[in-house]
Amino acid sequence: MYRPGTDAQWSLYAGAMASPRSHRSYPPPAPFGSNKPGSPSPAAGAGATFARSHPLPNSRLAGGPTTRAPDVNMTTGTCQCCGHLLRFPLTIKAFRCTVCETVNDLDPVPLPEGGQVQPHRLSLERLRTLTNAAQQNRQSAELLEKTIADSFSLHVAINESFSNHKPVTETNCGVNLDDVRTAYAILLSNTSPSSNVSRNGSLQALTQNLERLSITSSRLVSALNQAIDKLLKRPGRRLVGANDIKFLMIILENPTLSSKTNNNDVTFYHDILGRLFGLVSCLSNDLHHLIVSWFSQLPIDIFQKRVDMVNFYISRRLSTKDGMRENYSNDWGIKSAARVMALLFAANLARPAPKLVISDFYNTVVDYVDLIRDYLKWQEEKSGAFSFCQYPFLVSLGGKMTIVEADAKRQMQERFKEAFYRTAMHNQPTDPFFSIHVRRNNLIADSLNSLSARNADLKKKLRIEFVNEDGIDLGGLTKEWFLLLTRDLFDPQYGMFDFDEDSQLCWFNQASLENSEEYRLVGTIIGLAIYNNTILDVHFPSACYKKLLNQNVGLDDLQVLHPALGRGLQQLLDYDGNDVETVFSRDFVAEYTAYGASVIVPLVPNGQSVPVTNSNRKKYVELMVDFLLTRSVQRQFDAFKEGFMSVCGGNALSLFRPEEIEMMVRGGTELDIESLAGVCDYEGFNPNESTIRNFWDIAKRLPTDMRRKLLLFITGTDRIPATGIQNMPFKISCLGEDSEKLPVSHTCFNQLCLYRYKTRDKLETKLMKAINWSAGFQLK
């Protein structure tokens, strides 16, 4: 519990209130936030947080009596580990933060041994020499242990160790990381003897010789990590320049920090990780840019380990501290780790392929906190408290969908209450549902009329009625309406969208004669599907979802949509000859086909007279991409986006990445029958009786297209939920003994109803007929 002190108690308390920051802006927050030296860090959180500054005797830290003279001048500064703003006298040279216990030196600590740091610097060759000598006698073995302890506990020593002798830049951290990894491997007892880390015998022989001299590898590792812990508790200087932070890259390579062995070690390593993440998170914006660049150059397997290391820390901190899942917003360790993960996420976006997918950043333990409360807290205009919604890459797709569904349910309930209030108080009969009546043979026009006429009702619960058909919509008719409507709207013969045969993806028809309302209808339908937790079989490229989230699109996105055209433009850029104009014979124009006629559009004024050359080809590609993905379909896409945002607009949408929006819209395509059987519940059937065994055997033998039809018959959609089949309720119920009637399904409940057909052949025949004849509600 942090308590504020008065000016008269400066030697016991020193504190200042951190400035609150609003987090209403779309997440994730920039990994290079406003935590410049001397200013409050976002890691500090918000609200009145106070910390003490303790005098430490026999050091350059604040000393003297425990009560201050009334005329001492005060100043403020941030702890460079936890980011809290502290107040302390101008006369002291260092202060200790009581939030994280880090000693902050305002001036660099003097160098040891008369200013000579060379004896403490490590290189791979020096470490090999020391380890070889350590096998010969105990004195050399003890020297190895002492060298490790001295080198890793002193900033100026470890920061200059394993140097690659190159200046620190965005592309070079100044450290030979391969040598660092090899050095750690030599020190670890569990390294495979076959590892290519020593030219002087196997590590197994080295370990055995060291143990003979009572210097075990575990002792070396202990000395190593005790030294790192000492260094992180007191770095000895402010980390303000690029040359100050090389040691952080060395420590991040330490594989023991993500160890999951015995609890005592895990607790110790966990504390080291917290301090390490704290120092990284509180660096300046410019240093964060460097860290991101260095992270982006790591091999993909090492990069994955960094992400896992941060998630390991967050998971353990949330799981082991009492009440942490409720009070995490004030925990500096979780804030620091989340900020480091933001740096890794930015590095992943910047790195060349291969990249990690968004799910690699998910932390499943985060899903167990109260995400609804977290979202509401993030929504508060003046809230400066930490929330996981600021760092949505930590929240799984299922967790985000929980937030969206809760927000949608809240808004639906509000519309429902408003409708009943108007009915009760003003005698105005109002439908509490968004009821849509459509004819199957006039589906698009009827749907468009309903959506246009009742725009204010979009956030009510949908209820669909097919004219002149029986059935009450408990969810199944809504699914069928979505399915049939999207198939009609995306039918190539309807002319709203063009399809690429190579990619099997669709894009807005540049020459479409349809009015904007129909594109708005498509956007509304997709928004309603998300809002009503229904998946659709639509084939938009990633560019569509990027544009919905206001993200830039480029050549990579065009290559996904139009592979042949994209490859051609990439070849133009990659061509290394000096005769681009002659070889490619292109001008600054774009061309497309509109109802059989060729349409030529200049990309620049008088573009048909401007040839593409070596010097302007990059500009040509940029203009071509912009034309195809933006300018040529501006009217169509703007109407589509307007419809989508009329349903899904708001802060919740900003929690998602484009690929997550796509997954929510489309769901998954791979139907694993084994997995479906694993989540199935039974009513009136024993899972081991012949009818059930025959059903699963038939399902497993179905070709892919028939499996999708089976899923469509039972659930109303031929795709699985975005969060996986394990989250899809599924039930098989018994209708009675053998019968000539067909199976039926209740798509509202994902329920298949079977009779106890006497033979496998009869079950298969009846099931296939039911699947193929299932259009309309009659069989449901």
- b/e for 455-486, b at 16 or more Cβ within 10 A? eebbbbbbbbbbeeeebebebbbbbbbbbbbb
In the numeric block, which tokens belong to residue 377? 């807290």
Write down the catalytic residue from 79, 389, 680, 748. 748
- b/e for 637-661, b at 16 or more Cβ within 10 A? bebbbebbebbbeebbbebbbbebb
SS3 549: coil
Give the torsion sign (CA, 543, 547, 549, 552): positive
How many residues in total does the chain contain?
A: 780
Q: Cβ–Cβ contacts within 10 Å for residue 678, how many?
A: 11
Angle, helices 371-379 vs 397-426, to 10°: value is 70
734 is catalytic: no
Of 627, 732, 620, 635, residue with least CA distance to 676: 732
Of 536, 528, 549, residue with least CA distance to 411: 528
Using a 10 angstrom Cβ sphere, with 0-12 exposed, 13-18 middle and 19 or more buried, the burial of residue 24 is middle
Helix (H) or strand (E) holding 499: strand 497-500
Contact 713, 767 (CB under 8 A): no
Q: How far apart are CA 691 and CA 687, in angstroms?
A: 9
Helix (H) or strand (E) holding 602: strand 597-602
Q: How far apart are CA 8 and CA 224, in angstroms?
A: 42
Of 433, 447, 445, residue with least CA distance to 475: 433
Torsion from C-alpha of 624, 627, 629, 635, nearest 10 degrees: 180
Estimate to the nearest angstrom the gap between the alpha carbon of 629 and the chain centroid. 25
Catalytic machinery residues? 748
